[in-house]
């Protein structure tokens, strides 16, 4: 199979779908790789390094899309990239379709086979291809929040961990999954006052066992969340419903009661965000203010640390790339029901139920779509 790796074009996105080491593995399996010139240059992967690993290079994304049987990316294809997709071509990347009607429409029209990293599961129902970026984003959320709390950046002028004699900042984490756990790890390490909310008691028990009494765990109800958010200095939104739009946990009315200079970091923004006032931002302009509350809603947070993120992502995506290339997408998906859950769009059909429901498409069961 000929696998194409275009350069990412989203704002300040420097990650790359395959590292030179990953290319070498793919080539060792008897496949070809075509990498766009400069695709990994920003994180230290030269064109020469890709050629040494066995890839060919192409001067433009159009050449990669025109020739490749499978496109391996990091972020969802932008409009100009979606226009280059063709019927029967495989797209393997993050998609986050539920809150993105325009992208979904274009992918349906393309006729391409679109497999989303974020909806592939494992035998335990976890999301193995989303987890490493959730780890990165969770840890970054505290760095970003601490920065935004500085007065020069619109915040209350608080040091996250305080100092002896001065209370630390109150950090509220909504969701105790991978994002939340990593945010907690960083916030407690900075000596902040941390409370986590989740509706899964087993998750709260696990977090208590890991972090001990330094972490406050609370079962999530609207009343309890509202009370905590109003008193918080920093709120981390880390809720996730796989493949679906994120639930709105904080209303505009609650936000209006928060203290001026408080900070919201919405890690769920890729799936539409979990605050009523959230809208996607970029690394160029990461924040905006509503009712004197600073909002940090960067839609590709891990892109801010692209070298770390690229290695972490390739560690988990490479085995799936090899399955698709070695077996073809039909056999690779049919033999693995967990991998099959990654199929979101094929031949103009929407095959992920949460996406179909959110955007009013007819839902086609993935196995039936493949059989068709």
Distance CA 55, CA 139 (A): 33
- What is each CA distance from 196 to 155, 204, 244, in whole angstroms? 21, 8, 22
Q: What pLDDT sits at residue 372? A: 84
Count Cβ atoms below 10 Å from residue 257 Cβ, excluding itself.
Answer: 14
Specify whether the CB–CB gap between 296 and 281 falls below 8 A. yes
Specify whether the CB–CB gap between 91 and 59 falls below 8 A. no
In Å, how far from its chain's centre is CA 372? 31
96 is catalytic: yes
Annotated catalytic residue, options 193, 198, 266, 270: 270
Token duo for residue 158: 């608080």
Residue 86: which residues within 8 A CB-CB, separation 6 or more?
A: 65, 110, 111, 112
pLDDT digits (tens, 9 = 90+) for 240-282: 777 778 899 999 999 999 999 999 999 999 889 999 999 999 9
pLDDT band, residue 205 (cuts 50/70/90): very high
The span from the first CA to the last CA of the chain, in angstroms, equals 23
Q: What pLDDT sits at residue 91? A: 98
pLDDT digits (tens, 9 = 90+) for 72-116: 999 999 999 999 999 999 999 999 999 999 999 999 999 999 999
31 is catalytic: no
Q: What pLDDT sits at residue 240? A: 79
pLDDT digits (tens, 9 = 90+) for 271-301: 899 999 999 999 999 999 999 999 999 998 9
Residue 262: which residues within 8 A CB-CB, separation 6 or more?
A: 155, 156, 232, 233, 234, 235, 292, 293, 294
Annotated catalytic residue, options 96, 106, 233, 266: 96
Radius of gyration of the chain (CA): 21
pLDDT band, residue 36 (cuts 50/70/90): very high
Q: What pLDDT sits at residue 305? A: 96
pLDDT digits (tens, 9 = 90+) for 113-154: 999 999 999 988 899 999 999 999 999 999 999 999 999 999
Residue 71: which residues within 8 A CB-CB, separation 6 or more?
A: 3, 4, 5, 6, 17, 64, 65, 77, 85, 89, 90, 91, 92, 93
Q: What percent of the chain lies above the pLDDT cut of 70?
A: 100
| Count helices and strands in the chain by DSSP H and E runs | 15, 15
Count Cβ atoms below 10 Å from residue 79 Cβ, excluding itself.
Answer: 9
In Å, how far from its chain's centre is CA 176? 16
pLDDT digits (tens, 9 = 90+) for 338-355: 999 999 999 999 999 999
């Amino acid at each position: 199979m000929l696998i194409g790796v275009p350069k990412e074009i989203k704002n300040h996105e420097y990650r790359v779908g395959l590292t030179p080491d990953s290319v070498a593995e793919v080539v060792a399996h008897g496949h070809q790789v075509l990498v766009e010139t400069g695709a990994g240059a920003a994180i230290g992967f030269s064109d020469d390094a890709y050629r040494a690993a066995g890839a060919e290079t192409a001067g433009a994304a159009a050449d990669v899309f025109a020739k490749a049987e499978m496109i391996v990316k990091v972020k969802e294809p932008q409009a100009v990239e979606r226009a280059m997709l063709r019927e029967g071509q495989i797209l393997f990347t993050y998609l986050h379709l539920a809150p993105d009607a325009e992208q979904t429409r274009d992918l349906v029209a393309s006729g391409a086979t679109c497999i989303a990293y974020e909806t592939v599961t494992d035998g335990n129902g976890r999301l193995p291809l989303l987890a490493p970026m959730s780890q990165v984003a969770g840890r970054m959320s505290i760095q970003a929040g601490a920065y935004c709390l500085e007065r020069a950046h619109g915040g209350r002028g608080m040091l996250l961990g305080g100092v002896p004699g001065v209370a630390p900042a109150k950090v509220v984490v909504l969701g105790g999954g991978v994002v939340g756990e990593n945010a907690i790890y960083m916030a407690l390490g900075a000596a902040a006052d941390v409370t986590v909310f989740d509706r899964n008691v087993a998750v709260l028990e696990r977090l208590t066992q890991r972090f001990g009494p330094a972490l406050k765990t609370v079962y999530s109800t609207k009343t309890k969340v509202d009370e905590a958010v109003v008193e918080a200095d920093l709120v981390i939104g880390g809720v996730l419903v796989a493949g679906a739009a994120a639930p709105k946990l904080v209303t505009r009315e609650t936000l209006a009661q928060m203290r001026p200079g408080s900070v919201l970091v919405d890690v769920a923004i890729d799936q539409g965000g979990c605050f009523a006032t959230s809208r996607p931002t970029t690394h160029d302009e990461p924040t905006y203010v509503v009712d004197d509350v600073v909002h940090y809603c960067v839609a590709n947070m891990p892109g801010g640390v692209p070298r770390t993120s690229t290695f972490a992502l390739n560690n988990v995506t490479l085995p799936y790339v090899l399955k698709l290339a070695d077996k073809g997408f039909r056999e690779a998906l049919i033999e693995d029901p967990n991998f099959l859950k990654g199929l979101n769009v094929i031949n103009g059909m929407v095959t992920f139920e949460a996406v179909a429901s959110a955007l009013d498409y007819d839902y086609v069961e993935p196995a039936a779509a493949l059989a068709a």
